[in-house]
């Protein structure tokens, strides 16, 4: 990325809409505005952060491309920290592409994915954790996920890291004193004090790491695979949980051949429901391949819903499915509660001696038991905390952040071992510096360029 370049992109989703925005940022933004924009009244004299009405013209022909509102944001008080121009056009794709084409002819280039936000980071308008939160805000699927991203965008994680780094710097200072001076020349704290401080920060970092499993689910969602033998009501359950007819339901076994994936919000957690083909003895190579893919999906699921047909006795296929999922987070659901039941409690106890969550009787056809099923799905993947309790502290959701904190903990554990082993304080000081470097990577102070490129390449163009 060349910071001297002026970049441009369509910043709103493609397609027809009332308004579409083209964002331009860089040293030529003002010149491009003066070249293309003709105000509706008076001479053009841009005042920063004001809207101006007028038209965008094609300089070569003088043709009017669109009636627009434009705003010019003078650096450093802009999103990127550079001079920035935003052109508010009508929201037709052809109009936006024509205006963008003229912007490029006037001296800009098309922005790469995430380049506006990367410039904001490089211009110290935000730290790396805040930049990553921008993408999470855009892709948030639930209110809880959005709140978590907004909290990070406001600097909650940065503030936490700065707190940790401040403590480590104090620890490092004590270690450095013990390296540079003898005990007769200084009042440096004894190693026991340093050891206690290291143990405290390890405990705090470990507590933060413990939030990752829940934070990841809010950010990425839960993969919930619905499985069972053919015709037990898997597709009916999918439709009932979604509140709409998404999957085809027929009395013919094997109706579902491919995976059907749809998202639903359960108590603030995005749940991706995956309807699968029925598991049975395959009749041909194609069906055998499809059933093999179902088992692959089950192996990576966060939650498995095993459906049994309560109107029929258990079969060897049911036994196989139950046995194949006994080590996974599973919920056993007995469907067709509206019909006479032929599966008894004793039948299931012999198959599920170690089950922690009792089977739930439901009717996917009429909706009986569905609210309780949603509660059980939520309870299986989340600790039971109310929303206010979850929102009182920082929660990790990004694997990069988790890895950096794990590395910091590893370095501090080694520092602790070196102190306990009465090794020279240089060893512990080295490990504390490494821990500082690991935590610095979270906010971008010590993050390599290739990692930055990988992070921002996942952003949408125009952000």
**Tokens matching residue 70:** 């434009």
How many Cα atoms sit within 13 Å of 130 on the Cβ side?
A: 20
Pairing of strands 360-361, 330-335: parallel
| C-alpha count within 13 angstroms, C-beta hemisphere, residue 132 | 25
- What is the spatial distance between Cα 230 and Cα 241, in angstroms, rounded to a whole number? 19
CB 315 within 8 A of CB 290: no
Residues 254 and 192 occupy one common structural domain: no
Phi-psi category of residue 418: left, alpha or beta, with phi > 0 → left and psi -120 to 50 → alpha: alpha
Residue 18 inside a domain? The answer is yes
Does residue 423 belong to any structural domain of this protein? yes
Residue 343 has what pLDDT?
83
Domain at 37, CATH number: 3.30.1360.120
pLDDT for 351 equals 67
Does residue 76 belong to any structural domain of this protein? yes
353: left (phi over 0), alpha (psi -120 to 50) or beta: alpha
- Conformational region of residue 148, where left means phi above 0, alpha means psi within -120 to 50, and beta covers everything else: alpha
Domain at 374, CATH number: 3.40.50.300
Instruction: Point out the domain boundary residue: 126, 156, 176.
Output: 126
Q: What is the DSSP string of 342-371?
A: ---HHHHHHH-TT-SS--EE-BTTTTBTHH
Beta bridge partners of 274: 225, 261
Give me the sheet containing 7-10, strands edge to edge: 37-39, 51-58, 63-73, 84-90, 19-25, 7-10, 109-110
Residues 318 and 272 in one domain: yes
Q: Are 232 and 397 in contact (CB under 8 A)?
A: no
Residue 109 CA to residue 100 CA, distance in Å, equals 10
Alpha-carbon distance of 365 to 226, in angstroms, equals: 16
The last residue of one of the domains, among 107, 126, 145, is 126
Closest alpha carbon to 454 in 400, 388, 381, 392:
400
Q: pLDDT tens track of the chain, all 463 residues?
A: 567 899 999 999 887 888 999 999 999 999 999 999 999 987 778 889 999 999 999 999 999 999 999 999 999 999 999 999 999 999 989 999 999 999 999 999 999 999 999 999 999 999 999 999 998 998 888 888 889 999 999 999 999 999 999 999 999 888 887 776 545 554 444 467 889 999 999 999 999 999 998 888 888 888 999 999 888 988 889 888 888 776 555 454 444 456 788 888 888 888 999 888 888 777 777 777 878 888 888 898 889 999 999 899 888 888 888 888 888 888 999 999 999 988 876 667 666 656 667 888 999 989 999 999 999 998 888 765 544 545 557 889 999 999 999 999 999 999 999 888 888 888 899 999 999 999 999 998 877 787 788 888 888 878 8
Whether 234 and 365 share a structural domain: yes
Domain endpoint, select from 361, 385, 409: 385
Residues 11 and 151 in one domain: no
Residue 269 sits in the same domain as residue 146: no
**In what helix (H) or strand (E) does residue 144 lie, and over which residues does it extend?**
helix 143-153
For residue 196, tell me if it sits in a domain.
yes
Give, for 455, the enclosing helix (H) or strand (E): helix 449-456
State the pLDDT at residue 1.
55
Please work out, in degrees rounded to the nearest 5, the angle formed at the alpha carbon of residue 114 by the alpha carbons of 113 and 120: 150
Helix (H) or strand (E) holding 66: strand 63-73
Residue 450 within any structural domain of the chain = no
Q: Both 235 and 204 in a single domain? A: no
Torsion of CA 358, 231, 250, 224, to 10 degrees: 50
Helix (H) or strand (E) holding 120: helix 115-122
Identify the DSSP state of 125.
Answer: S
CATH at residue 188: 1.20.120.430
Angle between helices 156-180 and 425-443 (to 10 degrees): 160
Contact call for residues 68 and 88 (beta carbons, < 8 A): yes
Q: Note the residue count of the chain.
A: 463
**Residue at 364 is within a domain:** yes
97 and 205 in a single domain? The answer is no
Q: How many domains does the chain have?
A: 3
Structural tokens at position 183: 């005990």
Strand arrangement of the beta sheet that strand 360-361 belongs to: 260-266, 269-275, 222-227, 303-309, 330-335, 360-361
- Spell out the long-range contacts of 154-161 with Cβ–Cβ below 8 A and sequence spacing 24 or more: 154/130, 155/127, 155/130, 156/394, 157/129, 157/394, 157/396, 157/401, 157/442, 157/443, 158/127, 158/129, 158/130, 158/443, 160/208, 160/394, 161/129, 161/439, 161/440, 161/442, 161/443
Q: Within this chain, do residues 303 and 406 fall inside the same structural domain, yes or no?
A: no
**Residues 249 and 358 reside in one and the same domain:** yes
Note whether 257 and 378 are same-domain residues.
Answer: yes
Asked whether residue 454 is domain-assigned, the answer is: no
Domain range for 338: 222-385
Q: What's residue 383's pLDDT?
A: 62
Backbone angles phi, psi at 37, to 5 degrees: -100, 130
Together in a domain, 317 and 331: yes
Residue 456 maps to a domain: no
Q: Do 13 and 88 sit in the same domain of this protein? A: yes
């Amino acid at each position: 990325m060349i910071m001297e370049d002026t970049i441009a992109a369509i910043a709103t989703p493609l397609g027809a809409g009332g308004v579409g925005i083209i964002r331009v940022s860089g040293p030529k933004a003002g010149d491009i505005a003066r070249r293309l924009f003709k105000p509706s009244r008076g001479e053009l004299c841009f005042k920063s952060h004001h809207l101006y009405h007028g038209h965008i013209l094609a300089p070569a022909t003088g043709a009017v491309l669109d009636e627009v509102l434009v705003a010019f944001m003078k650096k450093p008080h802009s999103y990127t920290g550079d001079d920035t121009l935003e052109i508010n056009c009508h929201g037709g794709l052809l109009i936006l592409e024509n205006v963008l084409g003229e912007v490029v002819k006037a001296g800009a280039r098309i922005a790469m994915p995430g380049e506006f936000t990367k410039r904001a980071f490089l211009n110290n308008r935000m730290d790396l954790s805040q930049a990553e939160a921008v993408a999470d805000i855009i892709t948030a699927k639930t209110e809880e996920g959005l709140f978590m991203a907004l909290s990070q965008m406001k600097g909650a994680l940065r503030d936490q890291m700065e707190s940790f780094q401040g403590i480590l710097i104090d620890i490092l200072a004590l270690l450095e004193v013990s390296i540079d001076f003898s005990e007769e020349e200084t009042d440096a704290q004894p190693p026991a004090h340093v050891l206690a401080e290291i143990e405290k920060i390890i405990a705090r970092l470990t507590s933060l790491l413990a939030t990752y499993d829940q934070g990841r689910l809010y950010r990425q969602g839960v993969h919930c695979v619905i499985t069972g033998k053919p015709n037990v009501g898997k597709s009916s359950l999918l439709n009932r949980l979604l509140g709409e007819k998404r999957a085809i339901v027929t009395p013919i076994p094997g109706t579902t051949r491919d995976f059907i994936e749809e998202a639903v919000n359960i108590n603030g957690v995005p749940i991706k429901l995956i309807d699968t083909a029925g598991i049975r003895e395959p009749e041909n190579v194609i069906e055998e391949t499809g059933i093999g893919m179902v088992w692959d999906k089950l192996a990576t699921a966060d939650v498995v819903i095993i459906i049994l047909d309560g109107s029929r006795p258990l079969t060897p296929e049911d036994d196989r499915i139950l046995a194949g999922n006994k080590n996974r987070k599973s919920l056993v659901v007995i469907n067709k509660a509206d019909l006479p039941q032929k599966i008894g409690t004793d039948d299931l106890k012999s198959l599920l001696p170690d089950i922690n969550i009792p089977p739930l009787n439901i009717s996917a056809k009429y909706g009986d038991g569905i609210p309780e099923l949603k509660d059980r799905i939520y309870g299986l993947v989340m600790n039971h905390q109310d929303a206010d309790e979850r929102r009182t502290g920082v929660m990790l959701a990004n694997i990069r952040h988790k890895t950096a904190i794990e590395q910091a903990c590893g370095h501090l554990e080694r520092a602790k071992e070196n102190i306990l082993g009465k090794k020279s304080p240089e060893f512990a000081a080295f490990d504390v510096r490494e821990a500082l470097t690991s935590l610095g990577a979270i906010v971008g102070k010590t993050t390599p360029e290739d990692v930055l490129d990988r992070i921002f390449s996942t952003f949408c163009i125009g952000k």
